[in-house]
Chains A and B, each alone.
Chain A
Amino acid sequence: MIFVIAANELRRMFYSPLAWFILAMLLLIEGLLFLVFIETFLTQVQPRFAGIDGAPGVTDSVISPLFLWAGVLMLGVMPLLTMRLFSEERARQTLVLLRSAPLSTTQMVLGKFFGLLGFILAMLALILLMPLALAPFTSLDWGKLLSGALGLFLLSASFGAAGLYLSTLTAQPTIAAVSSFGLLLFLVVLYLSGSSPGTASELFVYLSHFGHFIAFLEGLFDTRHLSYYLLFIAAFLILAVRRLDNETLNR
């Protein structure tokens, strides 16, 4: 049942021009960045480190920044994708369809979330094509590539879970988008203030997404970072379920 909703959600995303525009813009920007990083690598990094053992390779100087930037772009992209999940249903009064069907609220929320994950996977697959295009010509650090991709996936999924919750709060997609963008930016600010010299705060860095994302980009697969994302996602999904359940009680 969850997958029925997820499939429908994914299909409807691709029916809207928004999804295609987002994919197009994302690829355009990532493509340009990719070129810039390669250019820098070829003209500046490679000549300097040629022949030195343990020097940063192509994975470090091209792929990791590419993923990092993809994560930054997701700050803008995910709110646009999540804003319609529940607020549009509410604005169009289509939530009744799911509510009257023999479904639990958890199934409803998970269905929507998995649909979103499907879209994230599609974006990730397209972004991954760029580093893969390098594979025939150089040796890539596959471990780092995979951990970076996993990190990007978890980062986007956690953005998505937060956006999903915020979209259950309002009937106006724009408000949902703006508020989730605000929340995500706030977490970035936490990271910046937590990691800036002088005011460094372990807690702030821990709370923000990017602290954990960077570990993944460095090729560090640590269950602590994994569990941060899983907890973050679970927390917001549970909040969404509670919020929707509450609504039938006191509207």
Chain B
Amino acid sequence: MTDELVKAEGLYRYYGPHCAVANLDLSLHRGEVLGLLGPNGAGKSSTLQMLTGNLAPSAGRIRINGEDLLDEPRKAKRHIGYLPEQPPLYRDLTVREYLRYCARLHAVPGREVQSAVDQACARCGLKTVSRRLIGHLSKGYQQRVGIAQAIIHRPAVIVLDEPTVGLDPLQIQEIRRLIQELASEHGVILSTHILPEVQSVCSRVQIVHHGRTVFSALLSELDRNASGAVLARFANPPAVEVLQQLEGVREVEVLADGHIRLVPHAKMALAEGIAEQAVAHGWRLQELLTEQANLERIFTDVVYHERNAATAPEATQEKALS
């Protein structure tokens, strides 16, 4: 057993002359949630299909838990649970029947099928609906059945393709909680184009654009590298020069939406000082928040950079904050 659950190197995929994935590397370790991020049509789904053996790469190597997916597909596939964009559900089976079938397909030994089904139902909150027909369930429950299907054989790697699409906010929260829970035992790869999703569940992010990796980093590093900037809004804002004079402020920027962005020297905490000054000088502080790890900024930069190469950087910043 290696600690590196997935290792893909130099993946290429052509659809005719169109190149969907180009020289993509990807790796996943135990206990990690990797967020595969990219705009629509960036090659995320193709990549996941290749990792799960649903699509043969035009070139490249994939190892799953030490087994080569292309040479030994049946051995390697044992370690994968996959939820495609459209969950592969048989609508005419009950949840329990369906999960039992999935367990058997994934070579769960006969004696353990029952307990595997029970466990998957419990984890995904399906106990109350386990005897209902899948076709009669709501979208949120169907999505959970899809996830239950992916984890039933306790695979080392769980691959989820846009698991929260089409769900209501409450269901999204539940699914995210479930993903975090799963990450403690399994490695999870998640594709999405929703930025907050990555921020809330992933430990590492890889941004894909036009089939190439354009950015890859640990989220903890992102946080550490975050500028520590503060966004403030005043009803009676002082002059920019006044703010510039405040202790620890390196840079002041008035944003188009009325927020003032203050960047500190070397990660000093600004919020407290600003609040005190605002009260003392009657600036009437309305809002004060610390800027999050600037994933959105990075995403906008790397993805829209080429498209908006001509326009000034302020334009991209506006988009990032809108």
Complex CA gap A104/B74 in Å reads: 7
5 contacts between A and B (CB under 8 A): A12-B92, A92-B90, A92-B91, A95-B88, A102-B78
Q: How large is the interface on B (under 10, 10 to 19, 20 to 34, 35 or more residues)?
A: 20 to 34
* Shortest beta-carbon distance from A163 to chain B in Å: 20
* Shortest beta-carbon distance from B29 to chain A in Å: 21
Contact: B105 with A5, CB < 8 Å?
A: yes
A248 within 8 A of B: yes
Known: A8-B101, A12-B90, A15-B92. A100 touches B74 (CB 8 A): no
Contact: A103 with B74, CB < 8 Å?
A: yes
Residues 1 to 60 of chain A near chain B (Cβ within 8 Å): 1, 4-5, 8, 11-12, 15-16
Q: Looking at A4, A101, A251, which has the most chain B CB atoms within 10 Å of its CB?
A: A101
Name B residues whose Cβ lies closer than 8 Å to a Cβ of A: 15, 52-56, 73-75, 77-78, 80-82, 84, 86, 88-93, 97, 101-102, 104-107, 149
The 8 Å CB contact of B106, one of A12, A95, A102, is A102
The 8 Å CB contact of A100, one of B54, B56, B101, is B54
Residues of B within 8 A of A12 (CB): 90, 92-93
Contact: A97 with B88, CB < 8 Å?
A: yes
Complex CA gap A5/B90 in Å reads: 13
Q: Interface digits, A85-123 against B, CB 8 Å rule (1 contact, 0 not)?
A: 000000011111111111110000000000000000000
Given A16-B92, A96-B84, A104-B74: 8 more A-B contacts, CB < 8 Å: A1-B107, A5-B105, A93-B84, A99-B53, A102-B77, A102-B107, A103-B74, A103-B105
Contact: A251 with B55, CB < 8 Å?
A: yes
Name A residues whose Cβ lies closer than 8 Å to a Cβ of B: 1, 4-5, 8, 11-12, 15-16, 92-104, 248-251
With CB as the reference atom, state the residue of chain B lying closest to A245. Answer: B56
Residues of A within 8 A of B82 (CB): 96, 100
Contact: A101 with B89, CB < 8 Å?
A: no
Contact: B54 with A94, CB < 8 Å?
A: no
Contact: B105 with A98, CB < 8 Å?
A: yes
Contact: A1 with B55, CB < 8 Å?
A: no
Known: A93-B84, A93-B86, A102-B74. A4 touches B53 (CB 8 A): no
Complex CA gap A4/B107 in Å reads: 10
Residues of A within 8 A of B91 (CB): 92
